[in-house]
Structure 1
């Protein structure tokens, strides 16, 4: 862990557009979600797995801008039948071990429970974190995992070297692409492989313009 923390030099991206905050509160009630089919080790796509365009959100669960923007982005994606969303962990150095710990928890929720559990965990962490490295409450537990032993399994998974390496690899993959701040969006046309990158929160008009630019 020390190796990855010492190498981080990114800073959170300030909000560049006016975003209407939409918090999706998970309270044990049934909610419709546009889930893709689950995968054993991700990526867990929010939306249709056969969508033409994929938005990759490079994000940090302790980033306050990600906290306010991700629910808005998910809402927009849920209204687009040909767009899906992929989360890419990019925990920033300035947010310390809290960001890494939360990334591991969320990843393991997906590993244990699949796509719905992954995005449910993202929602819960974003809703309860203090942000900016303050982390989640000590009594925090991810709800919705089916197994009676899910809490113990989640802890075991989150503390495993395999999970640590996975999160570290996601960080370095993003760094190799030149990602420096969160949130950063990369919109990819899955037919052509072309992509466009947007730094900071992007509103509906900006997202639609980016998608349109990939069709020209």
Structure 2
């Protein structure tokens, strides 16, 4: 599997000059993605300057009723510089919104993050938001990704590591190889 190159359009945290780039294709309603979210956050903190994280949307709309809307909420937050904060809220509170009408819940999260509410509401439903997410999902499908989360380290697909220590070792090995 060859993933699209990282670009300035990607949602990223960490230095562009980091020795390791971790790309994650994820769905905010996916229980496995929720399980990995704190591990990925810890990796980002532990590897600091050596790790750059890229988040790419892959909402599994065929099995998760709020996958697309949650992605739209995260993208709308990203347009105000609060993607990672919304990312954390969505995963931490997944059980609160995954099986119900979630729009008002996501609007509440935007208020909690002190986002500009007019802009958030407009961006939440904007065609450009939906197109950005769909482009990411279509790219994932085109390279053969069919589950979430899917991780790539420096462009190489890795099987979802069993736990934090296994994930950490994969990254350490990649750093040492560079």
Q: Which residue of 1 aligns with 2:133?
A: 167
Aligned partner (choices 43, 56, 59) of residue 23 of structure 2: 56
1:199/1:74 Cα in 2 relative to 1: closer, same or farther (>3 Å)? same
CA-CA distance at 1:205 after TM superposition: 4.0
Count the aligned residue pairs: 164
Q: Which residue of 1 aligns with 2:44?
A: 77
- Which runs of 5 or more structure 1 residues have no equivalent in the other structure? 1-38, 189-194
CA-CA distance at 1:174 after TM superposition: 0.8
Aligned partner (choices 75, 82, 87) of residue 55 of structure 2: 87
Coordinate RMSD, CA, aligned = 2.5
Aligned partner (choices 177, 183, 189) of residue 149 of structure 2: 183
Query: Do the aligned partners of 2:152 and 2:158 also contact (CA within 8 Å) in 1?
Result: yes
CA deviations on 1:108-140 (whole Å, 9 max, x unpaired) are: 1111x22xx110010111122228942547344
Q: Which residue of 2 aligns with 1:110?
A: 78
Q: Does structure 1 residue 128 correspond to structure 2 residue 93? A: yes
CA-CA distance at 1:171 after TM superposition: 0.3
Give the distance between the partners of 1:132 and 1:171, measured in 2 at CA.
22
CA-CA distance at 1:179 after TM superposition: 0.8
CA-CA distance at 1:104 after TM superposition: 0.7
Task: Considering Cα pairs closer than 8 Å and 6+ residues apart, tell me whether 1 or 2 has the greater RCO.
Answer: 2
Query: Do the aligned partners of 1:64 and 1:131 also contact (CA within 8 Å) in 2?
Result: no
CA-CA distance at 1:76 after TM superposition: 1.6
1:202/1:48 Cα in 2 relative to 1: closer, same or farther (>3 Å)? farther
Q: Which residue of 2 aligns with 1:44?
A: 11
Give the distance between the partners of 1:67 and 1:53, measured in 2 at CA.
22
CA-CA distance at 1:77 after TM superposition: 1.9
Give the distance between the partners of 2:162 and 2:21, measured in 1 at CA.
15
Greater percentage in helix: 2
Classify the secondary structure of the residue corresponding to 2:86: helix
